[in-house]
């Protein structure tokens, strides 16, 4: 099963862990990373992840996230198809950069798009081409199917 983590998801362990939801999302994200390392999940990567990560002002975070590109088993660069999908997503209120992430994940034929961005989750609850979900709910689904 192929998944895609957006930049917010990759950055979750660096966020303020004093909130229970943030800690739970962090633990779920770290568990997902272990599943990727173990080969139980495959990871898709995109040019927009590179773009956003390169803009990260925190070198430690940037370096840690960039390591995941080497672990990813597929990569996508910008195409006309991705830009069309991005435009479709912006019509339902998804911000352009977020829409690019989702469009890239669809282009990579990922089964799941993982994010902790509540704005994305609210606007894409019934998106037909890919399941958009937070890491906690992904783990719940994963464990229910094992």
Q: Report the topology of domain 2-144.
A: Rossmann fold (3.40.50)
Nearest to 65 by CA among 12, 130, 125, 101: 12
Domain ranges of the chain: 2-144
> How do residues 66-85 score in pLDDT, each as one tens digit?
999 999 999 999 999 999 99
pLDDT digits (tens, 9 = 90+) for 85-138: 999 999 989 999 999 999 999 999 999 999 999 999 998 877 889 999 999 999
- Cβ contacts of residue 110 below 8 Å, gap of 6+? 2, 3, 4, 44, 130
């Amino acid at each position: 099963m192929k998944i895609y983590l957006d930049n917010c998801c990759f950055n979750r362990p660096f966020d303020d862990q004093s909130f229970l939801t943030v800690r739970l999302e962090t633990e779920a994200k770290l568990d997902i990373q272990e599943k990727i390392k173990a080969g139980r999940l495959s990871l898709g990567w995109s040019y927009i992840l590179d773009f956003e990560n390169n803009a990260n002002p925190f070198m430690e975070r940037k370096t840690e996230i960039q390591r995941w590109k080497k672990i990813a088993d597929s990569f996508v660069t910008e195409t006309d198809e991705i830009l069309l999908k991005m435009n479709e997503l912006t019509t339902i209120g998804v911000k352009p950069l977020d829409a690019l992430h989702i469009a890239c994940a669809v282009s990579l034929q990922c089964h799941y798009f993982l994010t902790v961005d509540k704005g994305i989750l609210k606007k894409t609850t019934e998106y037909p081409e890919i399941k958009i979900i937070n890491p906690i709910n992904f783990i719940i689904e994963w464990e229910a199917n094992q």
